[in-house]
Chains A and B, each alone.
Chain A
Amino acid sequence: MAKTTKLSLIGLVFLLALFPLFQPPIHSLSFLFLVFLYIILAESWNLIGGFGGYLSFGHVAFFGIGTYTSALLFQKLGLSPFVGAFPAGMMAAAVAAVIGYPCLRLRGPYFAVVTLCFAFIMDLIVKNWWFLGGSEGIHLKLVEMEIRLSRSIFYEIYLGLAAVTVIFVRWVEHSKMGLGLSAIREDEEVAQTLCIPTARLKLQAFVLSAFFPGVAGGLYAYYISYVHPDVVFDISVSILIVLMALFGGGTSWAGPLVGAALLSIINELLSTYIKPEIARMIYGAMFVAVILFMPDGIVAFVKRKRGYA
């Protein structure tokens, strides 16, 4: 990555980290918190989706599993979600390993549909199982802190997690694993003939891509203090993650970052200033426009315009 890009990104993270010190409106902290969340989700999704070419449409399930794991650990064992987020991530990763093993044998749209089903089923199971709170959800004790302070703390944690995720995904992109995944995406049969361990790589990518959403979910439970399937297993979030990553460009680490940030900001601006249905129409038209003119995503389009490969 060019030195100027690296420096400007580090500068941006630094500025974002200092942002809460300027006493901005709490709403902007919440908004940026959500942007960071989508960055975490889209970036980690990209490991299996953009790099591997396996579009998981049920990824929100791992986020939800993370929230419920940490919420239950807090409720039953009193384990603080700041600590509990880690086992939450492990739980999501474990589920991904179990689900991924049979599902990754499917290709293309079939994989997409099976993961979508998985997310639906998780949503329905949680809603109907008393142990997990059913459709009442789980209420957590509010963080015992003044609201601005707690929002700022969550903001900084999520900023850090987003940065870690982006750095990790970038590292994977340039690693042997990333190369193997690209080969799988381009042509899986050929990759197999090259002795690339496709099954192992796919599973690894899938598990890793579930871990970060799990951790993010674990923290999110504490942030909103109330965990309910409609919120954390929301299918439209799942679809949105895919769109954000592909909108920005699935083949590079920068794509989901750009996609998540841009789409969140555009969505926020549209909903604030324009009537909701018209805003959504513009939102939808935007997808159509981007896919027509930039079918490989924004980052790839910009790179090509600049003259890079």
Chain B
Amino acid sequence: MWNLVVILQSALSGLLLGGVFALLGVGFSLSWGVMKVINISHAAFGILAAYIAYWGLTLYGWDPMLSLLVSIPLLFFSGLVLHRFLIQKVTRAREIVVASMILTFGLAIVLENAMLFAWAPDERLITTAYSSRALFLGEVILKVSNLIGFGLSMAGIGGIYFFLYHTHTGKAVRATWQDPEGAALQGIPLNRVSMIAFGLAIASAGAGGVAMAYMYSFNPPAHNHWLIFLFLVVIVGGVGSVIGTAVAGLMIGLITGLSGAFLPFQWINVFLFGLLMVILLIKPEGLFRK
């Protein structure tokens, strides 16, 4: 068990998975931090994009990366529409967080069951020509598909970071997050900015979903499983912080991978949730809360 190769293998695999957690978490964190909307349907949109990639591959032979050309605009547009017609209505409620949770919970159920109805609960796996190939670092095996998923995630996070820190709209989003009233006083159209941020969040969920699909099989109910990890990542990293969530995602992935090497399988989740509880009780603001 103390074999260095095993440790390195699990650490690296975990890290690759962590990248995907990071991308999914960043979008989730964005909508929670900026719009105070806890989007329970975040992971479900990821699954939707994964299905688009799957059907693109099996029906038309598209590479999953190509399917992103379809899913990202589609999901971005869906995010805009959802925000404009559903979420803006509840931001006026007394309890935004609660109302948004219930709203997006209903949304998640509708989405999950629509996918179940259309595509059945069978587990799907994306297998491309290069899926079985792997990179060998000494005795450590890194599957090409995992590496691609990781690369996609890093690109996604990089894109979001660039948007938030180097574009005008992105800076407006950050301003809205830091101080909505101040931003409004500056002439920033809060609703439109929130709409764009939400669209971006959903689109990133899509990219994250495809990245996850490169690594694991999926089916409609899988989003529940992903969602727990999203909560873990976002809370550890600090709600609203892109860097914090990204680092937290990598960390959680690393810990998941390593604990797989040391703990019996069924105790990994207990360890993770116990860790989440401890972090919540000691430092709920997360590691990088600004």
A116 to B274, CA, bound (A): 11
Does B5 have its Cβ within 8 Å of any Cβ on chain A? no
A281 to B110, CA, bound (A): 4
Does B231 have its Cβ within 8 Å of any Cβ on chain A? yes
Does B277 have its Cβ within 8 Å of any Cβ on chain A? yes
Known: A281-B113, A288-B106. A102 touches B273 (CB 8 A): no
Does B52 have its Cβ within 8 Å of any Cβ on chain A? no
- Taking CB atoms, residues of chain B closer than 8 Å to A281 are 109-110, 113-114, 117
Query: Could you mark each residue 187-209 of chain B with 1 if its beta carbon is under 8 Å from any beta carbon of chain A, else 0?
Result: 00000000000000000000000
If over half of A's interface residues share one DSSP class (helix, strand or loop), that class is named, otherwise mixed; here it is helix
Q: Are B280 and A117 in contact (CB under 8 A)?
A: yes
- Taking CB atoms, residues of chain B closer than 8 Å to A125 are 270
A243 to B108, CA, bound (A): 14
Q: Are B103 and A113 in contact (CB under 8 A)?
A: no
Q: Are A114 and B277 in contact (CB under 8 A)?
A: yes
List B residues at the A interface (Cβ < 8 Å).
32, 38, 86, 89-90, 93-95, 97-99, 101-103, 105-110, 112-114, 116-117, 228, 231, 235, 266-267, 269-270, 273-274, 276-277, 280-281, 284
User: Chain A nearest CB: distance from B98 CB in Å?
Assistant: 7
Stretch at the interface among A31-39, A138-146, A290-298: A290-298
A108 to B32, CA, bound (A): 13
- Taking CB atoms, residues of chain B closer than 8 Å to A120 are 228, 269, 273
Known: A246-B98, A291-B90. 11 other contacts (CB 8 A): A120-B269, A121-B270, A124-B270, A239-B105, A283-B109, A284-B106, A284-B107, A288-B107, A288-B110, A292-B89, A295-B99
Q: Are B89 and A108 in contact (CB under 8 A)?
A: no
- Taking CB atoms, residues of chain A closer than 8 Å to B101 are 109, 112
- Taking CB atoms, residues of chain B closer than 8 Å to A112 are 101
Does A128 have its Cβ within 8 Å of any Cβ on chain B? yes
Q: Are A286 and B106 in contact (CB under 8 A)?
A: yes
Please report the number of residue pairs spanning A and B whose Cβ atoms sit closer than 8 angstroms: 108
Does A118 have its Cβ within 8 Å of any Cβ on chain B? yes
Cβ < 8 Å to B, chain A residues 241-287: 243, 246-247, 275, 277-278, 280-281, 283-287
User: Chain B nearest CB: distance from A196 CB in Å?
Assistant: 20
List A residues at the B interface (Cβ < 8 Å).
55, 102-103, 105-106, 108-110, 112-114, 116-118, 120-121, 124-125, 127-128, 239, 243, 246-247, 275, 277-278, 280-281, 283-288, 291-292, 295-296
Q: Are A246 and B102 in contact (CB under 8 A)?
A: yes
Q: Are A102 and B281 in contact (CB under 8 A)?
A: yes
A292 to B103, CA, bound (A): 8
User: Chain A nearest CB: distance from B3 CB in Å?
Assistant: 26
Q: Are A128 and B270 in contact (CB under 8 A)?
A: yes
Which of B86, B95, B110, B277 is in CB contact (< 8 Å) with A284? B110
Q: Are A291 and B235 in contact (CB under 8 A)?
A: no
Q: Are A280 and B277 in contact (CB under 8 A)?
A: no
Q: Are A110 and B269 in contact (CB under 8 A)?
A: no
Q: Are B99 and A291 in contact (CB under 8 A)?
A: yes
User: Chain B nearest CB: distance from A78 CB in Å?
Assistant: 31
Q: Are B86 and A292 in contact (CB under 8 A)?
A: yes
A116 to B95, CA, bound (A): 20
A121 to B228, CA, bound (A): 13
A113 to B38, CA, bound (A): 12
Q: Are B106 and A113 in contact (CB under 8 A)?
A: no
Q: Are A288 and B86 in contact (CB under 8 A)?
A: yes
Q: Are A291 and B103 in contact (CB under 8 A)?
A: yes
- Taking CB atoms, residues of chain A closer than 8 Å to B89 are 292
A120 to B269, CA, bound (A): 9
A109 to B38, CA, bound (A): 9
Which of B113, B228, B267 is in CB contact (< 8 Å) with A277? B113
Residue of B94, B228, B273, B281 most packed against chain A (CB within 10 A): B273
- Taking CB atoms, residues of chain B closer than 8 Å to A128 are 266-267, 270
Residue of A105, A275, A280 most packed against chain B (CB within 10 A): A280
Which of A106, A117, A243 is in CB contact (< 8 Å) with B105? A243
Which of A55, A114, A124 is in CB contact (< 8 Å) with B98? A55
A69 to B32, CA, bound (A): 39
Q: Are A295 and B94 in contact (CB under 8 A)?
A: yes
User: Chain A nearest CB: distance from B133 CB in Å?
Assistant: 36
A121 to B267, CA, bound (A): 10
- Taking CB atoms, residues of chain B closer than 8 Å to A295 are 90, 93-95, 99
A114 to B284, CA, bound (A): 10
- Taking CB atoms, residues of chain B closer than 8 Å to A284 are 105-110, 113
User: Chain A nearest CB: distance from B176 CB in Å?
Assistant: 19
User: Chain A nearest CB: distance from B221 CB in Å?
Assistant: 11
Q: Are A117 and B277 in contact (CB under 8 A)?
A: yes
A105 to B273, CA, bound (A): 18
- Taking CB atoms, residues of chain B closer than 8 Å to A246 are 98, 102
Residue of A nearest to B268 (CB): A124
User: Chain B nearest CB: distance from A75 CB in Å?
Assistant: 23
A103 to B282, CA, bound (A): 10
Q: Are A110 and B98 in contact (CB under 8 A)?
A: no
Residue of B nearest to A283 (CB): B109
- Taking CB atoms, residues of chain B closer than 8 Å to A118 are 277
User: Chain A nearest CB: distance from B283 CB in Å?
Assistant: 11
Q: Are B270 and A277 in contact (CB under 8 A)?
A: no
Q: Are A121 and B273 in contact (CB under 8 A)?
A: yes
User: Chain A nearest CB: distance from B65 CB in Å?
Assistant: 30
- Taking CB atoms, residues of chain A closer than 8 Å to B269 are 120, 124
